[in-house]
């Protein structure tokens, strides 16, 4: 009976883990809350995000750091939200970026209007 319970527990945990995207452990929880990661981080960490309101427009920047030696292809875009969480605008286009091994790049975007108060960074990481 114990063996059966262990098997069930193992199966359930594996399925549960597989269902959710895996942020890199080095990504702080506050940053991870602003990132909609599709799939695994594959070694790409986001150590810092900066948001500033300049001239009544929100500007967001995120530092992407590749923790492994091999290159990664990152697809990303920003999604802008208003004060109640509704999307503002039709959405940005996806951008493709090569992140070399052990390199850091900053991805920046400017909100399309002054009603934007929040954002999410959507991204997925491909192995090159």
Q: Catalog residues that contact another protein under the rule CB under 8 A.
A: 1, 3-4, 7-8, 54-57, 59, 75, 77, 89, 91-96, 109-114
Give the DSSP letter of residue 103. Answer: -
Shortest Cβ 102–another protein spacing (Å)? 21
39 conformational bin, left if phi > 0, alpha if psi -120 to 50, beta if neither: left
Residue 62 CB, nearest distance to another protein (Å)? Answer: 15
CA-derived radius of gyration, the chain: 18
What end-to-end distance do the CA atoms of the chain give, in Å? 45
**Minimum Å distance from CB 103 to another protein?**
16
Residue 2 CB, nearest approach to another protein (Å) = 9
Which is nearer to another protein, 27 or 74 (by Cβ)? 74
Our CB check for another protein shows the closer of 7 and 33 to be 7
Question: Toward another protein, which CB reaches closer, 25 or 93?
Answer: 93
Q: How many helices (H) and strands (E) does the chain have?
A: 2, 7
**Strands of the sheet with 95-99, listed across from one edge:** 35-38, 118-127, 72-81, 95-99
Comparison of 28 and 53: residue with beta carbon closer to another protein: 53
């Amino acid at each position: 009976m114990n063996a059966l319970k262990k098997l069930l527990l193992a199966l359930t945990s594996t399925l549960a883990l597989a269902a959710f995207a895996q942020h890199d452990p080095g990504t702080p929880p506050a940053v991870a809350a602003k990132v909609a990661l599709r799939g695994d981080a594959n070694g790409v960490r986001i150590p810092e995000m900066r948001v500033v309101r300049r001239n009544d427009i929100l500007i967001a920047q995120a530092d992407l750091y590749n923790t492994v030696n091999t290159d990664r292809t990152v697809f990303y875009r920003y999604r802008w939200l208003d004060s109640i969480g509704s999307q503002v605008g039709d959405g940005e286009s996806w951008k493709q970026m090569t992140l070399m091994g052990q390199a850091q790049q900053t991805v920046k975007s400017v909100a399309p209007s002054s009603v934007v108060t929040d954002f999410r960074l959507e991204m997925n990481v491909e192995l090159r």
